[in-house]
Chains A and B, each alone.
Chain A
Amino acid sequence: NAGVTQTPKFRILKIGQSMTLQCTQDMNHNYMYWYRQDPGMGLKLIYYSVGAGITDKGEVPNGYNVSRSTTEDFPLRLELAAPSQTSVYFCASTHTGGGGTQYFGPGTRLLVL
């Protein structure tokens, strides 16, 4: 199993540009999450999904959108990039929503200039 994979690993965007961060898991997990981690800070939940076709907002959803058309994929869309979205983005998945281990992807480092 590859686990959770994310692409790209690093990206520089100009203000106002759009991009999609890709996340795929091959563990057949129902639950998937997107987090952002700013320097010296903990992870903050952006969006999550409890299964294909179902998504919900986390703590910091503004400026982002997600979709979950399949169990495996959970892309995160930035429509109008802003400097405040400079961060490291982690995707994670779990088999169950409660006590299950979260498996994280390697992260995408995004710089918005």
Chain B
Amino acid sequence: RKEVEQDPGPFNVPEGATVAFNCTYSNSASQSFFWYRQDCRKEPKLLMSVYSSGNEDGRFTAQLNRASQYISLLIRDSKLSDSATYLCVVNIRGLPNTGNQFYFGTGTSLTVIP
């Protein structure tokens, strides 16, 4: 079973729409959660961390449900510049004296249409 699973999409939405992405993770030792954005042929960049209480950054809202091992990202009032691939990332606690490992979902593709 994959550590992190996402709906690959693609999601094609009109400008101004609200769109939600979901992600599930399989390892209960997961301790940190993130959404990264990746533009075509570019490196991933952090969009936002995801906290247990849920958090918001402008038009973006992230939520975490530890019981269901589920993470979500909501984008309101979509802009053309939001077109990208959104990667769900989970950090899993490693063994003592080793680093934690990050696991990436395959990404969800979003295209915002004029």
Contact = CB atoms under 8 A, between A and B. Distances in A.
A, B: real partners? yes
Interface of A: 31, 33, 35, 40-45, 48-50, 56, 58-59, 90, 97-99, 101-102, 104-107
Nearest to B32: A99
Contacts of A98: 31-32, 91, 93, 100
Contacts, number: 58
A106 B43 contact: yes
Contact of A107 (B36, B43, B99, B107): B43
Contact of B104 (A42, A49, A105, A107): A42
A45 B45 CA distance: 16
29 contacts: A35-B104, A40-B8, A40-B106, A42-B87, A42-B104, A43-B87, A43-B104, A45-B101, A45-B103, A49-B99, A50-B98, A90-B43, A90-B44, A97-B94, A97-B99, A97-B100, A98-B31, A98-B32, A98-B91, A99-B32, A99-B91, A102-B46, A102-B102, A104-B43, A104-B44, A105-B43, A106-B42, A106-B43, A107-B43
